[in-house]
Chain A
């Protein structure tokens, strides 16, 4: 019987008992990784419509792709990142490009799905057919690598698979290594599909893959538990037997958990916390400048004051680059000002502008003097974007531009930028595939995707970007990149501010950190001492 007194006593003693228990379970803790993240997956199917960012992690760890990016050491140490141009087989034991360069053939490994069925080329075909047909983000992403129609995918025999190319596109093979074209157990999926062609409902709630981990339990909004698939055939067996990913919304709590040593890995802390943890020295912080990612302020080239290129240049001249990097990113990024006159073949890279108020003032005066305008940013990015916006407002006031700051909640932000009428918008865009032409295709090309926030239209730029995308001649490629970077440097539809670092906090006992372009944790390489 529980009396009030015993309940009270139990309550007071509870914290100590809880602690004793944790010690008793130390061995299982040793093989288990506790990851704390802001929010978890809303589905287990990255190809499905509306899958959130963390679903990439499920795709990465629980499914295999034909190819994967080759790990290369991070220059500053701390783990590995990927080499975009270098691919190795994941499900594919080997792969070969045809001599005419218009198809690729893949030999599959003897791998088994979690269900025990062997992986066949038919499963690969079903999965890639699904990716190009299901619609939404998956289909868009496949298109980025000229993977558009089911007819392109051919199951030659059980273990041989071929992809026929629509055109020569250097993104086709790298695009097979991102977290979209992963391979499902097609038989299992079809059996449970309930008549739906692509088994959307079943795969949303169940993993049917061959990957290194299985999902043992998934409680949306609370936690996801992964267990190792001991029969994984596509790489070195991971050391961690079990991974618990808990959703902890408050960054302060996540930081406390890390500092107390209760959590092993934390993603997505504010830059200030990463800086403090790094300075504290008790916890490892590994930062990788996000490939193909940059914070920038987009200036509308079609409506409003910034139609005048002189005003766009004035903004580029007045930005307090260094101050922004320190005050909003706490130094966790790369400055994008003061670049060389002849650009490199890279993106992002510093533009030629440096903070020079006199020059900016002269440009504004030449364009007819000061005015008022509005600066927008996504409230979901407020930790970084808010101080950035305030510093920009201060700086622009010096040259007679009065700025009103407008912080837009997440769902509205997309609507706002889709209108393409906002004069100034702060945004961070990061492309998965690390190619300059790929970035500009999304953000400044005349096809006017939602991320071309400046609504920039310039046939000259489109020509250069398209040329870089589809040429197979290296010299032409490099020249077009240099030319289009020069062009956008002069025209500044977007003023690049800083390339952010992707930071992860890890306990000193955790090794084997692997950065992936999808920016989700890759448990397959992690180790715990």
Chain B
């Protein structure tokens, strides 16, 4: 098994190297002048030149690339100009925030989408199938910032049920001792119920927003995959053998329908992690998405490179995990190195 994982990881090395080169070049071809931007108002050409040389942007590209790779090998992703901090520190701070939000959103979505998809497939053409269709269409057609703002408007502004959308914690709550960076987990580890509740209260609305958006692909995929499996010979055989409906659907059909669903979940997760910029903006959530976008607007190279690289690595790891999970779900799937 370990050998398999190792072999599998080896194959990802070329793609990671590719990602490093491509992001480096892409950020350099971006139009815009970092130095001029950070020189601030009333900057003289000399001031801009000084900043350019301080950032090393006046050096030829190959030299810049070599020093970037050298630093990267030592785990140094460079300095962000937008936050003024090392990119590694920023990402370490923000990735857990995004991960916590995305996981919560995804779990919520799964809790609704999987049963809904299964039921829609089993009772094809019934009202529940139509509901499934409506939910999926609505979820995917409502832009996230709209759902987010709508939820804020109703549950915070009108009803006052939800706490102020001020980020991960209320201004008067203090951060739990850092273990994983996920506030829910950390506050439980610290046995701090108050912080747990405060963090959870802040998390609900943004997580629901994300869940509404990710419902659609999961529901549709579950339904389609279940339909295919339910029409298969082994299900008919199981039914013919007199197994109960629950057993046929739960044990045999669902498990076999899981493969494409798990793939979709992986895709949705990695997509949401980096792409929920708008949710992060609406709820002042200090995640990686808005970090990367702000850096992009300012042509701030180091955070963009760091972000893309982290995402690439995460994607690789996630795919590996999904492949391993295939083997668990369906022993017929063999993982080849």
| A residues with CB within 8 A of B | 2, 10-11, 13-19, 21-22, 25, 28-29, 32, 34, 36, 39, 41-43, 49-53, 135-137, 139-141, 144, 204-205, 219-223, 244, 246-250, 252-253, 256-257, 259-260, 262-263, 379-380, 409-412, 414-415, 418, 429, 431, 442, 449-451
B25-67 CB contacts (< 8 Å) to partner A:
30-34, 36-47, 50-51, 54
Shortest CB-to-CB span from B69 to chain A, Å, is 23
Which residues of A lie under 8 Å from residue B80 when comparing CB positions? 42
Which residues of B lie under 8 Å from residue A34 when comparing CB positions? 171
Q: Does any Cβ of A come within 8 Å of B281's Cβ? A: yes
Q: Does any Cβ of A come within 8 Å of B156's Cβ? A: yes
Q: Does any Cβ of A come within 8 Å of B127's Cβ? A: no
Taking A11-B204, A49-B50 as contacts, is the C-beta distance between A25 and B281 under 8 angstroms?
no
Please tell me if the beta carbons of A249 and B50 are within 8 angstroms of each other in the complex. Answer: no
Shortest CB-to-CB span from B100 to chain A, Å, is 14
Contact with A along B140-175 (1 / 0, CB 8 A): 000000000100110111001111111100111100
| Whole-angstrom CA separation of A140 from B294 in the bound complex | 26
Which residues of B lie under 8 Å from residue A15 when comparing CB positions? 155, 161-163, 201, 204
Please tell me if the beta carbons of B196 and A253 are within 8 angstroms of each other in the complex. Answer: no
List, sorted by A's number, 6 A–B pairs whose CB atoms are closer than 8 Å: A11-B200, A32-B172, A221-B90, A256-B165, A259-B157, A415-B33
Shortest CB-to-CB span from B183 to chain A, Å, is 13
| Whole-angstrom CA separation of A219 from B160 in the bound complex | 28
Shortest CB-to-CB span from A38 to chain B, Å, is 10
Which residues of A lie under 8 Å from residue B204 when comparing CB positions? 11, 14-15
Which residues of B lie under 8 Å from residue A449 when comparing CB positions? 42, 44
Please tell me if the beta carbons of A220 and B90 are within 8 angstroms of each other in the complex. Answer: yes
Q: Does any Cβ of A come within 8 Å of B188's Cβ? A: yes
Please tell me if the beta carbons of A22 and B172 are within 8 angstroms of each other in the complex. Answer: yes
Please tell me if the beta carbons of A49 and B54 are within 8 angstroms of each other in the complex. Answer: yes
Which residues of A lie under 8 Å from residue B31 when comparing CB positions? 411-412, 415
Please tell me if the beta carbons of A244 and B39 are within 8 angstroms of each other in the complex. Answer: no
| Whole-angstrom CA separation of A316 from B85 in the bound complex | 46
Which residues of B lie under 8 Å from residue A49 when comparing CB positions? 38-39, 50-51, 54
Q: Does any Cβ of A come within 8 Å of B308's Cβ? A: no
Please tell me if the beta carbons of B282 and A253 are within 8 angstroms of each other in the complex. Answer: yes
Please tell me if the beta carbons of B197 and A14 are within 8 angstroms of each other in the complex. Answer: yes
Which residues of A lie under 8 Å from residue B94 when comparing CB positions? 221
Instruction: With A140-B43, A205-B84 given, name 5 new contacts (CB 8 A).
Output: A15-B201, A41-B84, A50-B51, A253-B284, A262-B164
Shortest CB-to-CB span from B194 to chain A, Å, is 7
| Whole-angstrom CA separation of A380 from B46 in the bound complex | 25
Total number of B residues with any Cβ neighbor in A under 8 Å = 67
Taking A42-B84, A50-B51 as contacts, is the C-beta distance between A252 and B36 under 8 angstroms?
no
Which residues of A lie under 8 Å from residue B24 when comparing CB positions? none
Which residues of A lie under 8 Å from residue B201 when comparing CB positions? 14-15, 17-18
| Whole-angstrom CA separation of A14 from B169 in the bound complex | 12
Please tell me if the beta carbons of A442 and B42 are within 8 angstroms of each other in the complex. Answer: yes
| Whole-angstrom CA separation of A13 from B197 in the bound complex | 9
| Whole-angstrom CA separation of A444 from B47 in the bound complex | 20
Which residues of B lie under 8 Å from residue A256 when comparing CB positions? 152-153, 156-157, 165
Which residues of B lie under 8 Å from residue A248 when comparing CB positions? 165-167, 284
Taking A50-B81, A260-B156, A451-B42 as contacts, is the C-beta distance between A414 and B37 under 8 angstroms?
yes
Q: Does any Cβ of A come within 8 Å of B198's Cβ? A: yes
Please tell me if the beta carbons of A257 and B166 are within 8 angstroms of each other in the complex. Answer: yes
Please tell me if the beta carbons of B32 and A137 are within 8 angstroms of each other in the complex. Answer: no
| Whole-angstrom CA separation of A25 from B198 in the bound complex | 14
Nearest residue (CB) in A for B290 is A249
| Whole-angstrom CA separation of A204 from B291 in the bound complex | 20
Shortest CB-to-CB span from B137 to chain A, Å, is 25
Please tell me if the beta carbons of B34 and A246 are within 8 angstroms of each other in the complex. Answer: no
Q: A42 contacts which of B43, B82, B93, B165 (Cβ < 8 Å)?
A: B82
Q: Does any Cβ of A come within 8 Å of B298's Cβ? A: yes
Which residues of A lie under 8 Å from residue B280 when comparing CB positions? 249
Contact with A along B296-312 (1 / 0, CB 8 A): 01110000000000000
Please tell me if the beta carbons of B164 and A204 are within 8 angstroms of each other in the complex. Answer: no
Please tell me if the beta carbons of B32 and A412 are within 8 angstroms of each other in the complex. Answer: yes
Please tell me if the beta carbons of B36 and A10 are within 8 angstroms of each other in the complex. Answer: no
Q: Does any Cβ of A come within 8 Å of B283's Cβ? A: yes
Shortest CB-to-CB span from A282 to chain B, Å, is 13
| Whole-angstrom CA separation of A2 from B34 in the bound complex | 49
Please tell me if the beta carbons of B167 and A222 are within 8 angstroms of each other in the complex. Answer: yes
| Whole-angstrom CA separation of A25 from B171 in the bound complex | 11
